[in-house]
Chain A
Amino acid sequence: MTADLVRPIPPPAKPRPVKLPSVAERTLANGLRVMAVRRPGVPLAEFRLRIPFAGPTGRGGRAHTAQAQLLGDTLMSGTTERTAARLAADVQALGGQLSASTDADRLAFGGSVLVSGLPGLLALLAEVITSASYPKREVEGERDRLVQELAIYRSQAAVVAREALMSRLYGDHPYGREIPSAEQVQDVKATQLRSLHAERIAPAGSVLTVVGDLTPSRAIGLVEKALAGWTATTKAASTPPLPTPDRRPTLLVDRPGAVQTTLRMAGPAPSRTEADYAAFTLANLVFGGYFCSRWVANIREDKGYTYSPHAQIEHPPAGSRISLSADVSTPTTAPALVETLWELGRIATTPVAQSELDQARRYAIGALAIGTSTQAGLASTLSQLAGAGLGVQWLRDYPKQLAAVSVEDALAAGARYLAPGRLTTVLVGDVAQVEASLRGLVELELA
């Protein structure tokens, strides 16, 4: 390369401080906690409503998983005032979207709308909450559709791996069975959904976050007006505590003829409120949490075993989790696992370079600023924080915590959470091609 083409890299200027959004908050008479932030830009408003919705551990929990899934799918299938199509048309006419979904912890509503349509969309939300009717025909139709969609869903290697991994980590806890079986879904009746709705969809314990091009006091006023009539008083249940994970062999699930092996590993991680969270975030970034990580450099950019290796911290309320994923070509399954175990061992036992740590730190701080720079991003972030019992102040405190992490802190966190023996491993691939080479590497159990 000729010398005049090689140029000095311009260093970044001092970052402009991120202005923390000002959050107004009020708990309504019915117990609903409402948070509102003004964010002008586009004439839209976004809201998120989180309602605790966990099922119990054990057998009863399985029925809950199926009922909760179908409840989310049929919440908007009709109210005492409107059919599903009428409701959908009225939401659409406001320039709105309204969705409901459930997971192992909660029922979540998401709304976005032209800001002029916010009162109307909140009114429709209230109507769904207070008078969803679960018409028999619609419930049966959605039930049949869900059975079909579950079959499609489970045809994906990533889903097969996720189910096996969650089940191995959490057993009979709700997190161990995030997805219902077709048989359980087929058993669900409309009357059960009406009962579940009445028992569990209550304002106390729920949090509604609004972000948009309107003043926080006006936003809260609109929410209060629309949802004051939501007076259900049932006690919201929170997620049961997690079982202690036990050491298990690597699970190999057969996917005959698969051209790739779906590698997934997971284990406990600190929550956002734990002292070593910032240190672990940085240790994980250096290991595999972003493109510039060691794991990506090794198994993708050096060896070409995979396209998208990634290590990610997830925060379900009952206990945070570190999850690793990589889809590796079938012939490279064993070597990819070796490199993964080596990188995990390295992050758990030897200090990272100061430069690696500083780079990860700048990334973590920048990603937070970018993630909260849109209405939708800010609404989701605040809603997630509220779900973890944290306020907007966390957006200011967390960068300071990141700034204070030392190489020693990162090593301690890596040792605690990323040592390979602390992780549960699942592989989904063609057993005929990969088993022999894996046998000598790890203790293996065939599904």
Chain B
Amino acid sequence: MSPVPPRSRTRSAPAAARPATSRLSYGIERARLDNGLRVVLSPDPSSPVVAVAVYYDVGMRSEPEGRTGFAHLFEHLMFQGSASLGKTEHFTYVQGNGGTLNGSTHVDYTNYFEVMPSSATELALFLEADRMRSVAVTQDNLDNQIAVVQNEIRVNVLNRPYGAFPWLNIPPVLFDDFANSHNGYGDFVDLESSTVEDARQFFDRYYAPGNAVLTVVGDIDTAQVLGWVKQHFGDIEARSVPERPSFAEPLPQQERRAVAYDPLVPTPAVAMAWRVPDPADLDTYLPYVVLAEVLTDGDASRLQERMLLEDRSATSISGYLGLLGDPLDARDPTPFLLEVHHPQETGLETVVTTVDEELERLATAGLLPGELDRTVARMTSRYLREVDSVLGRATTMSVFEQQRGRAELVNELPDLLREVTAEAVQAAAATLTPATRTLLELRPGSKA
């Protein structure tokens, strides 16, 4: 006898796992200041905390040649002081008032955020406004942060096994254009030759208020917060906003293969990448997001069951959209990625053949009964868990607002996932063929 209650006993079958209650209803208000700053406010009084996030529409793809890693270096400089704040004071005001903070640089955007007791909401807004108005970069601070960033790259890449795999070493194989293919963490030579004038130009060009989205989520009175936003951000001078260039490039016309070496790794790995449709159209994109989970989420997923449980041909498998693994913030052009770590004795071709077989099986026979439902059920709960935190909600809303003008998607995503059909997932699988694949093999050791 199964100890799991039959679905008919819980609620109406088969909706038990994907109930109507997974719909969200976070309130959203938005405004746009005269200087172009877009503002999203979402009140939630359940805990006395607030998240403030600022998203600038510039990322690694916008770096010019000779300045690889500059978007990230500049993110560090945004913490080094502004007209009203000395070096490290941004941290002091946030942490010293009970908050946490960070920033991160992505392929297509750069974000800054604080989570604070809601009593410090105005302070957090002030801090973000001050650096948006008047970041102050000195030669000393630049030199210091170049050294810090180099140590960040050492700890995350150069002294870490698999550190570049595959997010830094597959783009040059998958893409041809500099914008898409270069090392976004940065070449040390480029970092070291960066100047204060580069920083000034980068700030002028990309950090205009009209190129940013400000999101405030949590224990707030929206009218009061909007007043503070106008007070602190309103007189930041409007500047021209660069039109976001198209980074589109032609699809690879044949399979691409490359080998990378890492002297720190004990066992090999392989990454397979396919370009996917423009994420701007969620109808054609979301089936790929679901497909990644069908293939690799847990012991009941296609590739894990086959390769980890049955064949024992791999030690770990992951599948995801976008180089940094967040499917919902990716913009075109972007890959579907499969990452397989396997014992030396398995051999690359066994791994590749197995993946091909499973993709073909999915493409021809489609999903099994219940397979889509259970996959979407867990995706939904994982998503709900993510947006349960004020920060998770603020970052999700910011990305949707910045890229799609629709922070409301935060509430709608569970329904959109539920609407993905088995046929669409099957059709997505059918596009992941060897002929359109980019394959990066990672071998232990150094190139002979």
Where the two chains meet, the residues of A that have a C-beta atom closer than 8 Å to any C-beta of B are: 1-2, 5-18, 40-44, 76, 81, 84-97, 112-117, 119-120, 123-124, 126-127, 138, 141, 144-145, 148-149, 151-152, 154-157, 226, 257-260, 262, 290-292, 297, 300-308, 327-329, 358-359, 362-363, 365-367, 369-370, 372-377
Contacts and interface: CB of A to CB of B under 8 A. Distances in A.
B312 A145 contact: yes
Contacts of B315: 145, 148-149, 152
B410 to A, nearest CB: 12
Interface stretch (B1-9, B168-176, B322-330): B1-9
A415 B339 CA distance: 49
B348 interface: no
Contacts of B389: 373-374, 377
A415 to B, nearest CB: 24
B93 interface: yes
Interface in B356-394: 370, 373-375, 377-378, 380-382, 384-385, 387-390
Interface of B: 2-5, 10-11, 16-19, 21-22, 24, 44, 46-49, 83-85, 87-88, 91-93, 95-101, 115-120, 122-123, 126, 130, 133-134, 136, 143-152, 154-155, 158-162, 219, 232, 263-267, 297-300, 305, 308-309, 312, 315-316, 341, 343, 370, 373-375, 377-378, 380-382, 384-385, 387-390
Contacts of A96: 378, 381
B160 A15 contact: no
A68 B115 CA distance: 38
B97 A362 contact: yes
B84 A141 contact: no
Contacts of A260: 151, 154-155, 158-159
B162 to A, nearest CB: 8
Contacts of A358: 96
Contact of A9 (B3, B93, B374): B93
19 contacts: A12-B119, A12-B122, A15-B98, A88-B305, A93-B374, A94-B17, A114-B17, A114-B377, A123-B3, A124-B3, A141-B309, A262-B159, A292-B95, A303-B144, A304-B144, A328-B151, A366-B97, A367-B100, A374-B388
Contact of A42 (B3, B341, B384): B384
A358 B120 CA distance: 16
Contacts of A94: 4, 16-17, 377
B159 A375 contact: no
Given A85-B299, A114-B381, A359-B95, A302 B100 contact: no
Given A96-B381, A149-B316, A366 B98 contact: yes
A145 B151 contact: no
A44 B91 contact: no
Given A16-B117, A42-B385, A138-B309, 14 more contacts: A6-B84, A15-B117, A42-B387, A43-B19, A43-B21, A43-B384, A88-B298, A157-B159, A259-B154, A305-B147, A328-B151, A369-B47, A370-B98, A370-B117
A116 B17 contact: yes
Contacts of B126: 7, 9-10
Nearest to A144: B312
Contacts of B341: 148, 152
B377 A10 contact: no
A370 B124 CA distance: 15
A329 B154 contact: yes
Contact of B161 (A155, A304, A305, A372): A155
A152 B267 contact: yes
A256 B162 CA distance: 18
Contacts of B118: 16
B217 to A, nearest CB: 12
Given A15-B119, A116-B11, A123-B4, A327 B151 contact: yes
A300 B88 CA distance: 11
Nearest to A362: B98
B22 to A, nearest CB: 6
Contact of B390 (A259, A290, A373): A373
B22 A114 contact: yes
Contacts of A302: 144
Closest 9 CB pairs of A and B: A366-B98, A304-B147, A88-B299, A5-B83, A359-B96, A89-B300, A373-B47, A88-B300, A95-B381
B206 to A, nearest CB: 20
Nearest to B76: A307
B151 to A, nearest CB: 4
A155 B266 contact: yes
Given A5-B133, A373-B390, A14 B119 contact: yes
B83 to A, nearest CB: 4
A116 B309 contact: no
